Amino acid sequence: MAICSTLATIMLFYGQYQKKAAKITQEFTASANEVAQETLSLMRTVRVYGTEQQEFGRYKHWLEKLADISLRQSAAYGFWSFSFHTLYHATQVIAVLIGGMSILAGHITAEQLTKFILYSEWLIYSAWWVGDNLSSLMQSVGASEKVFQLMGLSSSNQFIMKGSQLQSLLGRIEFVNVSYYYFSRSMVPVLQHINFLVHPNEVVAVVGLSGSGKSTLVHLMLRLYEPTNGQILIDGYPLKDLDIKWFRERIGYVGQEPRLFRMDISSNIRYGCTKDVEQKDVERAAKQAYAHDFISSLPNGYQTLVDDDLLSGGQKQRIAIARAILREPSILILDEATSALDAESEHHVKGVLRGVRNDKTKRTVIIIAHRLSTIQAADRIVVMDDGRIVEMGNHLELLLKDGLYARLIRRQADAVA
């Protein structure tokens, strides 16, 4: 009985230790992956700043931590193995001694002693087997805890609640007294009392200083966040009541840092397009985005695999614009689509905007740009400052107003001169 409870205690201790070790190993692996990924993608930065030694030190630190954990894990296993074998052999010796004496005294028969020894051996090895597997089980539990946590997360309300689908999306967007605070900075209002209306097929540019809330405005429009106060109406319907999948399928969005995937250029342009599209449609979208010429000059053209260093920032932007155009969206949103562009690409983007305006398929366009030259032809320019709309009008009207927009234009002209 005492032996069994000692064995059980050791097993429990060992199991607990294995679980802890598995957790630490998992954390280490995640961090090591992160360090490795960071080091790869920031290789240039590391080289330029000459921080190779510092990075090497960080990696060494984690390796030492892993070595320490492995050492302690081996020591714990050694202890468990040693204790078990000592107990096992001691049990056998005691059983033979006491059993032998009992046979001599005539209390039990030799057959009974043999049976007892065989059964106890069977019991002890079964206990050993359970202990060994229990530790692997604990290791798996420790490693899979995070996975189960993620699997346990419930879907966002957006996808649980089946919203309404309109007959068609006209592209009328209205912000009604919208305010927004990020959860992590609940004391700082990012958007305050935003009221404005975008008419169907209108080209509206949003400009302002860095951090004035332009991207947040677009993220609310895409329902990536919900307004803290106020509401957004799409074609007169509250955005939160619309079927989000249906709504997003009708939107073309080019973000600040468009992501391309490790697949060929054609698949990158088709990405997320639910319609049946042929290669000629892909090429037409690429032409509209001024991407066709450089894609055709690549060795495998549209079948070229997108690799890390294959394309420049401007070329990635143009592929992302082609991706957005291919969806034939009712609302096209370009967030700082010109920020990573050189003068030639900027000229192309102006062409894209002209093309979009002259296109037979009418659509609402919202463009956020730092390069104000790109958006002078917009129907309306919304100027933001510190989370508020401070001016609104077309290019000439705003220049005459001589406010923030005029100042930004002068500042950019000075910078170019």
Ligand X SMILES: Nc1ncnc2c1ncn2[C@@H]1O[C@H](COP(=O)(O)OP(=O)(O)OP(=O)(O)O)[C@@H](O)[C@H]1O
Count the Cβ atoms, other than its own, within 10 Å of residue 265.
Answer: 26
Q: Shortest distance, CB of residue 144 to ligand X, whole angstroms?
A: 29
Phi, psi of 210 (to 5 degrees): -60, 135
Report 326-365 residues binding ligand X (CB under 6 A). none
Return the beta strands (E) in 220-322 as ranges.
229-234, 237-238, 251-254
Among 76, 190, 234, 311, binds ligand X (CB under 6 A): 190
Among 184, 186, 297, 358, binds ligand X (CB under 6 A): 184
Q: Give the SS3 label for residue 334.
A: strand
* Tokens representing residue 29 in the block: 């692996």
Give the separation between CA 129 and CA 277, rounded to whole angstroms: 59
Among 1, 104, 168, 185, binds ligand X (CB under 6 A): 185
Q: Which is nearer to ligand X, 124 or 349 (CB)?
A: 349
Number of residues that bind ligand X (CB under 6 A): 12
Q: Shortest distance, CB of residue 184 to ligand X, whole angstroms?
A: 5
User: Per this entry, what is the length of the chain?
Assistant: 417
Q: From residue 194 to residue 233, what is the string marking binding to ligand X with x (rule CB under 6 A)?
A: --------------x-xxxxxxx-----------------
Give the separation between CA 189 and CA 171, rounded to whole angstroms: 27
User: In sequence order, which residues have a C-beta less than 8 Å from that of residue 289 and are 6 or more positions away?
Assistant: 318, 319, 321, 322, 325, 348, 352
Of the ranges 19-27, 50-58, 179-187, 404-412, which one interacts with ligand X (CB under 6 A)? 179-187
Q: Which residue in the block uniquely carries the two structure tokens 């984690």?
A: 62
Q: From residue 286 to residue 305, what is the string marking binding to ligand X with x (rule CB under 6 A)?
A: --------------------
Task: Check binding of 186 to ligand X (CB under 6 A).
Answer: no
Q: Which is nearer to ligand X, 60 or 411 (CB)?
A: 411
Q: Shortest distance, CB of residue 367 to ligand X, whole angstroms?
A: 13
* Tokens representing residue 365 in the block: 């366009």
Q: Which pairing describes strands 388-393 and 380-385: parallel, antiparallel, or unpaired?
A: antiparallel
Q: Which is nearer to ligand X, 268 or 317 (CB)?
A: 317
Q: Which is nearer to ligand X, 216 or 317 (CB)?
A: 216
Return the beta strands (E) in 281-387 as ranges.
331-335, 364-368, 380-385
Give the separation between CA 125 and CA 116, rounded to whole angstroms: 14
Q: Shortest distance, CB of residue 198 to ligand X, whole angstroms?
A: 17
Q: Which is nearer to ligand X, 185 or 259 (CB)?
A: 185
Single-letter amino acid code for the residue at 321: I
Of the ranges 84-92, 184-192, 240-248, 342-350, which one interacts with ligand X (CB under 6 A)? 184-192
Q: Which is nearer to ligand X, 250 or 371 (CB)?
A: 371
Q: Which is nearer to ligand X, 53 or 186 (CB)?
A: 186
Q: Shortest distance, CB of residue 312 to ligand X, whole angstroms?
A: 21
Q: Which is nearer to ligand X, 168 or 210 (CB)?
A: 210
Q: How far is CA 85 from CA 78, 82, 90, 91, 269, in A?
A: 11, 5, 8, 10, 64
* Helix axes 343-358 and 313-326, enclosed angle (nearest 10): 10
Q: Give the SS3 label for residue 232.
A: strand
Kindly give the residue spans of alpha helices, DSSP state H, lying in 153-238.
Answer: 157-160, 214-221
Q: Shortest distance, CB of residue 216 to ligand X, whole angstroms?
A: 3
Question: Which residues sit at the interface with ligand X, rule CB under 6 A?
Answer: 182, 184-185, 190, 208, 210-216
